[in-house]
Amino acid sequence: MRRLTQLSAVVCVAALALTGCGSDSDGGGNGSKDSASKDICKTAKGDGPKIGLAYDVGGRGDQSFNDSAYAGLEKAVKEFDASCVEGEATDGEAESAREDRLRQMADGGATAVIGVGFAYSDAINKVAPDYPDVNFGVVDGFDPDTEANKNVAYLGFAEEQGSFLVGVAAAEKSKSGTIGFVGGVHNDLIKKFEAGYTAGAKAAKPDVKVLVNYIQESDLKGFGDPAGGKAAAAGQYDKGADVVYHAAGGSGAGVFDAAVEADKLAIGVDSDQYLTATAEQKPHILTSMLKRVDTATYDFIKSVDDGKALTSYQVYDLKADGVGYSKSGGFVDDIASDIDGFKEKIISGEIKVPTKP
């Protein structure tokens, strides 16, 4: 009998401990859910188009890529009296899970379905032919086969052009003549950022030295590893860099921390990261390279609402205001005319920004 009492005690404690852990860890993930109850897809019940938005790994709350897509969605839903559903990729999910997510959205009546991130390219290519009445969009995506899809828009960005401009800013603001670049994962997409950044820096100051580090060679964890971002940036500051640009998604938080500790500057990416930074980090965020995923998302939904859905490749470059740089904090106001000068030259075609380092 005593054994039984002990046993039940163990079970109770285990249950309590597990519940504690569970609700704790869920507290983190649940931060977004609490705001989710206030979010637009829970309340919007308009009779405009129904939109499905499938996020990449990280989902809402990454203060970067996915949040930018959400901003575009929010604007569109309000404007077109639309309704929406959201889905989120989990780390290491099967290709079939992505397809299923898109199909569930289309089956649920969505007329515009957007996959956020190039990882949705294959899934959308496979799903789209089965839903000829639904319009699909894929951010950063491409068509993996030779057969064109009539109902898919590939929303691509000229990241190298935006990166070029922040490269100019970095070079002009650098006192040491050495600047750094921290990439999340060494893939073709992030190499575009590196190429543009280096080209911009060299264009502004031909003798500037650019240090380049990637957090991961291929593991997508490189986009969610603040410790790795911090280590990479701290190493570059130690080697004399005084401005570091990151294209590392969630790992960028570590880059900003390193900038605070070294009392140097950092450059944000995708959205205006000055706005979401902590008070401590703000004085160290020189500018951010803007990748207007929100604009692309909004445009795509608008086109569906207009009945003239975008299809095929859409390029969001400097000309289309799809990329750019931010001025929050006022750190680049004094060199803004220089940067804008380069911007004009890129738009006019006088400067061709490389896409490969």
Contact positions vs another protein (CB under 8 A): 3, 7, 10-11, 14-15, 18-19, 22-23, 25-26, 29-30, 32-33, 36-37, 42, 85-88, 90-97, 100-101, 103-105, 108, 118-119, 121-122, 130, 140-144, 154, 186-189, 216-220
CB of 178 to another protein, least distance (A): 26
Q: Which residues, listed in sequence order, are joined to residue 270 by a DSSP beta bridge?
A: 290
CB of 174 to another protein, least distance (A): 29
The backbone torsions φ and ψ at residue 168, rounded to the nearest 5 degrees and listed phi first, read -60, -45
Single-letter amino acid, residue 279: A
| Pairing verdict, β 178-185 and 209-216 | parallel
CB of 50 to another protein, least distance (A): 12
Contact 265, 244 (CB under 8 A): yes
Scanning 128-186, the segments in alpha helix (DSSP H) are 159-173
The smaller minimum CB distance to another protein, of residues 197 and 342, is found at: 197
The smaller minimum CB distance to another protein, of residues 140 and 305, is found at: 140
Structure tokens at 227: 């410790």
CB of 122 to another protein, least distance (A): 6
The smaller minimum CB distance to another protein, of residues 29 and 341, is found at: 29
Residue 105 region, left (φ>0) first, then alpha (ψ -120 to 50), else beta? alpha
The smaller minimum CB distance to another protein, of residues 154 and 331, is found at: 154
Q: Which among 156, 135, 129 has a CA at the least distance from the CA of 51?
A: 135
The smaller minimum CB distance to another protein, of residues 27 and 341, is found at: 27
CB of 132 to another protein, least distance (A): 12
CB of 41 to another protein, least distance (A): 10
The smaller minimum CB distance to another protein, of residues 36 and 336, is found at: 36
The smaller minimum CB distance to another protein, of residues 36 and 260, is found at: 36
The backbone torsions φ and ψ at residue 208, rounded to the nearest 5 degrees and listed phi first, read -70, 145
Residue 11 DSSP symbol: H
Q: Could you give the C-alpha distances from 343 to 156, 166, 204, 331, 336, in angstroms and in order?
A: 19, 11, 12, 18, 10
Q: How far is it, in rounded angstroms, from Cα 148 to Cα 141?
A: 13
CB of 326 to another protein, least distance (A): 23
Angle at 271 between CA 44 and CA 66, to 5 degrees: 45
The smaller minimum CB distance to another protein, of residues 11 and 227, is found at: 11
CB of 32 to another protein, least distance (A): 8
Q: How far is it, in rounded angstroms, from Cα 266 to Cα 179?
A: 10
